[in-house]
Amino acid sequence: MRRQAAILKTVAFRTFIGVAVCGLASLAGLSGFSPAAVPFALHPSDTVVFYGDSITDQRMYTMLTELFVVTRYPKLNVNFVHSGWGGDRVTGGGGGPIDTRLERDVIAYHPTVMTIMLGMNDGNYANHTAADDTTYFDGYKHIINSVQSAIPALRLTLIEPSPYDDVTRPFILQPDGYNAVLRKYGDWIRNYAAEKNLGFADLNTGVVAMLRRANAEDPAVAQKIVPDRVHPAWGGHLIMAEQLLKAWQARPVVSAVTIDAARGKVVEADFAKITDLHNGVPFLWTETDEALPLPFANLLANDKDHSLNLAIKSSDVTEALNRQPLRVIGLADGKYKLTIDGAPVGTFSQAEFEQGINLAVLDTPMSRQAMEVRDWTQKRLDVHQQEWRTFRVPLGSLALQHLDETLKDMNAIDAEIASRQRAAAQPLAHVYQVTQAQ
């Protein structure tokens, strides 16, 4: 998979698996991070519409993408609209014909950014024909032309469809597997995006690579990552979100801090502010990061079937999206306990502190704060889904007396929740302390 080498210095980064966080612990070699990174694709106050079929309608890779943006870039104030509809094709589906869908579920929100992921249903599964391909390509062009005509400045990210799981179980729909159809669609989308100078994200290749590694590690659990071969569970959606965020040049680092305990000096503080460094007993400092991590440890606590853990272990998602390296150099040999705000985080050797500890995968006050943001994000998605799919679409043609005021009230609730979501994402100051373990 492509590395974001342009923003990483040439120093090794390692993650190891242990017992600290449901089988995922980390020792990440601290590679320095250049703040002069490639600019993130989203801009302040953007409105992003996620458009697609039932996989987008699951609101999982889209929710994880929103969570990442809100926590990694808490000052951007990007608005997200989740407009997936189960069964959709390039011609439309259960939500109406394509022109109805585009006008009502995309254009009406005046987006500045739109993602499109369609293809799973367009390939027609076991009944796939060459005519399906023609319909898909022509319909896809119609979508692009329609939204660009309505919003000329719209920035588009075209997505290669997520895979049909032909990895963990034998081929059944096509001689060479149904995912071969989706890959063909993906190749066409890639070329079309290049031709039209549009954004492109491959949500197929990285997931397939993860499934292959997961299947080699634990075939039974690997099948749970995409349990029905079409709709991924959280592990699959996390890797899908990773691929979209990579395409958007997302910053992999939450913060990167190096402190020299012997000299009592801050050596490095990327995306973080260090104050009140006390070089004595106890050795402590106050740190305010500019962002929050993805709360891997807290999400894994609810990973009942272990498929999320296996997906993380079988991918580069930690290195690509969730790095919060803390290095403390100049310590004497021995074991040291790290606490944040008085709560234990873990016990690490001098060598582990020297190499660097990836706080992003541990249970910390910052990850718990990110889980609060995650909860607000889910609430916001649920309110929008009710407003859109329970009230506005099915009742919109009935001329109900109170419908407009109900929709207005629900939109106000959505906005209020979004305000609380963003407030919850603002980083806080935390007191770090390193003491010799007994």
Q: Is residue 136 within 8 Å of residue 90, measured between CB atoms?
A: yes
What per-residue confidence (pLDDT) applies to 37? 61
What is the pLDDT, as a whole number, of residue 31? 44
Residue extents of the structural domains in the chain: 1-36+252-438, 39-247
**Residue 352 reports pLDDT greater than 70:** yes
pLDDT digit string, tens, across residues 292-313:
999 999 999 999 999 999 999 9
Of the ranges 6-10, 19-23, 130-134, which is most confident?
A: 130-134
pLDDT at residue 340 in the model: 98
User: What pLDDT score was predicted for residue 281?
Assistant: 79
Bridge pairing between strands 283-289 and 272-278: antiparallel
pLDDT confidence of residue 33? 47
List, for residues 158-184, the tens digit of each pLDDT value.
999 999 999 999 999 998 999 999 999
Write out pLDDT tens, residues 186-217.
Answer: 999 999 999 999 999 999 999 999 999 999 99
Between CA 94 and CA 101, with CA 96 as vertex, the angle to 5 degrees is 115
**Residue-level pLDDT at 30:** 40
Q: The pTM is what? A: 0.91
The whole-number pLDDT of residue 15 equals: 31
- Position 29 scores a pLDDT of 40
Residue 408 gets the label, from left (phi > 0), alpha (psi -120 to 50) or beta, of alpha
What pLDDT, in 10s, does the model give residues 233-283? 999 999 999 999 999 999 999 999 999 999 999 999 999 999 999 988 789
CA 20/CA 372 separation, integer angstroms: 21
Band of residue 315 on the pLDDT scale cut at 50, 70, 90: very high
Query: Sheet containing 113-117: which strands, arranged edge to edge?
Result: 79-84, 47-52, 113-117, 155-160, 199-202
CB burial class (10 A; 0-12, 13-18, 19+) of residue 428? Answer: exposed
| Extended strands (E) in 4-71 | 47-52
Q: Calculate the CA dihedral of residues 143, 145, 149, 154 and round it to 10 degrees.
A: 70
**Residue 336: closest CA among 261, 432, 438:** 438
Residue pair 121/88 in contact (Cβ under 8 Å)? The answer is: yes
Q: How many other β-carbons are positioned within 10 Å of the β-carbon of residue 250?
A: 24
| Band of pLDDT at residue 84, cut at 50, 70 and 90 | very high
- The percentage of residues in the chain with a pLDDT greater than 70, rounded to a whole number, is 92
* 61: pLDDT strictly greater than 90: yes
The full length of the chain comes to 438
Domain 39-247 has CATH 3.40.630.150: no
pLDDT tens-digit series, residues 373-425: 999 999 999 999 999 999 999 999 999 999 999 999 999 999 999 999 999 99
In this predicted structure, what is the pLDDT of residue 279? 87
Q: What is the mean pLDDT of residues 70-91?
A: 98
Residue 362 identity (one-letter amino acid):
L
pLDDT score for 354: 97
* 38 — pLDDT class (breaks 50, 70, 90): confident
Q: How much is the mean pLDDT over the chain?
A: 92
> Is the pLDDT assigned to residue 227 strictly greater than 50?
yes
203: left (phi over 0), alpha (psi -120 to 50) or beta: alpha
pLDDT of the residue at 438? 76
Percent of the chain with pLDDT strictly greater than 90: 90
